[in-house]
Amino acid sequence: MALIEFENVSKWFTEAGVTVHAVENFNLSINEGEFVCIVGASGCGKSTLLNMVAGFIKPSSGRILLEGEPITKIDPRCGMIFQNYALFPWKTVLGNVEFGLKMKKMPKKQRRELAREYIQMVGLTGFENHYPSELSGGMCQRVTIARALANDPKILLMDEPFAALDAMTRQVMQEELLRIVHDRNKTTLFITHSIDEALILADRIVIMSARPGRVKQDLVIDLPRPRHVSDQLTQDYLDYKNTIWESVQEEVMQNMLFAERKLA
């Protein structure tokens, strides 16, 4: 059984009398332990999809199943990692990481111990008592990853988590994420508009069409792991990159034509 199943999911928003179809008849199933990247032009409804899995918004039609049950509300089994970190500024690193456990009413001593373990996992030992404002962007994103994982979610939802980081930090974070996710055998649904990022990370890449978002292509990425920057020069890698790029480019063009028509 798939861990996550999108069944004919559509989402439309009506604003000022205009209805926008963000996602239409989206079908996808994600298996346990898979790392799936969704790639698509901006405005294709990628984030809408993720927000629906997390339960922040409801599909207009169709449904999303988590372990066979439809998602109807915000579900802690889907651990969300935001691009802007969304850390609690008034809590220290330790306080942030143990938040989910505290909500579960886990005894203080136990949750502290567990939180420290996750802080160590993301390499932030020694920073337990720092506030987020005292940390760099890369460190903040490490905290959010530890915070989400400490809550032991079934699936990690990541919405362009590294987009705000500089190129060097981003690369370090990508490698770290793979190490952690494989260590913990976590299923991950990752959104990005960087094809390189997707190719470094994913077991599968799902390319979305321009709005309304649909699955345009579902590619299994059969590149050896661990993947390094040097692998980006291999023929296999370049073939994948070309295929994806052509596919995405079509959609970008369509998006631009659509925008032009709207202007005219």
CA–CA–CA angle 53, 41, 190 (5° rounding): 35
Q: Is 90 in the site for other proteins (CB under 8 A)?
A: yes
Handedness of CA 60, 66, 70, 75 (dihedral sign): negative
Residue 169 near other proteins by CB under 8 A: yes
Measured from the CB atom, the residue of 152 and 250 that comes closer to other proteins is: 152
Out of 38, 50, 124, 189, the only residue in the binding site for other proteins (CB under 8 A) is 124
Does residue number 134 form part of the binding site for other proteins (CB under 8 A)?
yes
Q: How far apart are CA 28 and CA 7, in angstroms?
A: 7
Tell me the residue type at 244. Answer: I
The answer to whether residue 161 forms part of the interface with other proteins (CB under 8 A) is no
Helix (H, G, I), strand (E, B) or coil at 87: coil
The answer to whether 172 contacts other proteins (rule: CB under 8 A) is yes
215 DSSP assignment: E
Q: Check residue 131 for interaction with other proteins (CB under 8 A).
A: yes
**Is residue 133 a contact residue for other proteins (CB under 8 A)?**
yes
8-state DSSP, 43: T
One-letter identity of residue 97: V
Around Cβ 57, how many Cβ atoms within 10 Å?
15
Strands (E), 177-237: 187-192, 204-208, 215-220
Q: Which of residues 175-204 bind other proteins (CB under 8 A)?
A: 175-176
Q: Is residue 111 a contact partner of residue 98, using CB atoms and an 8 Å limit?
A: yes
Residue 146 beta carbon to other proteins: minimum distance, rounded to whole angstroms: 12
Q: Would you give the binding string for other proteins spanning residues 203-242, x where CB under 8 A is met?
A: ----------------------------------------
Q: Is 138 in the site for other proteins (CB under 8 A)?
A: yes
Measured distance CA(140)–CA(85) in Å, rounded: 6
Residues 15-74 that bind other proteins (CB under 8 A): 54, 56, 74
Q: Which residues bind other proteins (CB under 8 A)?
A: 54, 56, 74, 76, 78-80, 82, 84, 86-91, 99-100, 102-104, 123-125, 130-136, 138-139, 147-148, 151, 169, 172, 175-176
